[in-house]
Structure 1
Amino acid sequence: MTPLVLVHGFGTSRHIWRRVLEDVEALAIDLIGFGDAVAQGRAGQTVEDMAQALADRLREAGDGPYRVAAHSMGGKVALLVAARNPGLVSELFLIAPSPPTPEPMDPEGRAKLRAAHGDRDALNAQYHDITVQPIPQQDFAQLVQDGLCASRDAWTAWPDVGSREDISSQLDGLNLPITVLFSEDDPAISPDTIRSEVLGRFFQAKPVVIHGSGHLIPLEDPQAVVTLLAAKERR
């Protein structure tokens, strides 16, 4: 069976996959600047910086090629890893992914996101704003803790640099199965953005649409993720 890797999104860590990992065997990895990789965060880090570090981590594990499931910011990173390293990734599962083009976000939203780092009250408000379903207390506390402990440089780099990047021209030769799981009720990355900037750019991509979840699908509707990944495992 092809090994599975899970990649988290902005501000979180591998712990966002805790409920999925109760039913799926996978390797969950922290992106640089977050979780156990907080010390590797750097000022102005780009999508390419994160992708290179992730690719290096996968090579170190030595069990590829990998099926990669990636959430939010991690989706943009995983796309670049797959494009740059065709022998390393065999399939992508993008979950509420950031698009390869600049993410629609107004200046006020970027400023609010930037300022949330290290601020417990702001982090609480942020995660309530982007979710629809209640998140178990243990998992919500972990989200806030991840935001308090993340590298300030890495945190700031996403609204200022990574989310603004357009990597679409680097993905032209990407040729592998892609599944995109997203919610019609996501308040952070709209379904219209997913349809136009992700599905509209990868014609081989298969959409899987759910309702009633916000942006944090791995915590709000982990069964949707488990069902998707388990169905692929049975093939």
Structure 2
Amino acid sequence: MPESLTFIGLHYWAGAGHEFDQVAALLAPEYRLLAPDLGGFGSAPAPPDGFTVAAYADAVAGFIAAECPSRYVLVGHSMGGKIALELAARQPAGLGGVVLLSPSPPSPEPMTDEDRQTSLHAWGNPQEAEKTARHITVKPLPEATRRQVVADNLASSRAAWEAWLLHGSRENISARMARIEVPCALVAGDQDPVLSPSVHGLETLPLLPAGTPLEIVAGAGHLLPYEAPEEVAALLHRFAQEWGKE
């Protein structure tokens, strides 16, 4: 794949684009990684057409058009994974591949009603944000990174927070997955307490192109770009080299 390849990072629910900063630094200068804040999270306003998976994909397509990369790979993490799959199913020009990091599956995300209600009531609560940061990570994070995870959680707009829990995470885009024709890779932490490797193997992998690998990162939880940036960067680099040849 040519050196002009750009990775487009799509962050997790209640996160922000800067979760990819360490990965971007490790890929530079050979590859560029751009990671926008998704609508209602970080510093981004609400998406102009609402909070559906399709509306988020529209916004990402607009971001890509503005940046004008000739060839790019979508890197979708958790919520961003479902958005990446929706966009990839549209077969946009220039798309060279999709890498999914602990993605929300194309089918409704497995979550009990009790957990959903608990998460709904956790919005804007600093103690709950701290608790979530501890729960979803396995590898210890530097204190500054942990504070950033908490701050991003608290910066989430209530509308975006609730829309994903009540609607986006429940959307079923499985029927569209047959339209994805670019190479894909699936990556998961072996100790992810949110979406286990078995969920990916059952819900997502069978819907991706034949031969899609499921890579397991040992000792990692849900926040792979923060917990295992070196492993993620190495996987992206290898993906570009092995799958990105035109």
TM-score over 0.5 for the alignment?
yes
The residue identity in structure 2 corresponding to 1:206 is P
Q: Which residue of 2 aligns with 1:21?
A: 24
Q: Which residue of 1 aligns with 2:151?
A: 145
Q: Which residue of 2 aligns with 1:32?
A: 39
Give unmatched runs, 5+ long, in structure 1.
none
Within the candidate set 91, 111, 117, 2:123 is matched to 117
Could you tell me how far apart the structure 2 residues matched to 1:84 and 1:45 are? 18
Give unmatched runs, 5+ long, in structure 2.
none
Matches within 5 A, 1:1-16: 1=3, 2-16=5-19
Kindly indicate whether the alpha-carbon contact (under 8 Å) linking 1:8 and 1:14 is maintained by their aligned counterparts in 2. Answer: yes
1:185 aligns with 2:191: yes
- TM-score w.r.t. the length of structure 2 is 0.90
The residue identity in structure 2 corresponding to 1:228 is L
Q: Report % sequence identity.
A: 35
Could you tell me how far apart the structure 2 residues matched to 1:45 and 1:221 are? 29
Q: Which residue of 2 aligns with 1:209?
A: 216
Q: Which residue of 2 aligns with 1:227?
A: 234
Kindly indicate whether the alpha-carbon contact (under 8 Å) linking 1:41 and 1:151 is maintained by their aligned counterparts in 2. Answer: no
The residue identity in structure 1 corresponding to 2:192 is D
Could you tell me how far apart the structure 2 residues matched to 1:225 and 1:153 are? 31
How far is 1:191 from its partner? 1.2
Could you tell me how far apart the structure 2 residues matched to 1:64 and 1:114 are? 40
The residue identity in structure 1 corresponding to 2:203 is E
State the aligned residue count. Answer: 234
Within the candidate set 67, 76, 92, 1:70 is matched to 76
Kindly indicate whether the alpha-carbon contact (under 8 Å) linking 2:90 and 2:179 is maintained by their aligned counterparts in 1. Answer: no
Could you tell me how far apart the structure 2 residues matched to 1:21 and 1:48 are? 26
RMSD over equivalenced CA pairs, Å: 1.6
State which drifts further: 121-130 or 200-209: 200-209
Deviations 1:132-162 (A, max 9, x none): 1111111111111111111110011111000
Kindly indicate whether the alpha-carbon contact (under 8 Å) linking 2:47 and 2:55 is maintained by their aligned counterparts in 1. Answer: no
How far is 1:18 from its partner? 2.2
Could you tell me how far apart the structure 2 residues matched to 1:51 and 1:201 are? 19
Q: Which residue of 2 aligns with 1:197?
A: 203
- TM-score w.r.t. the length of structure 1 is 0.94
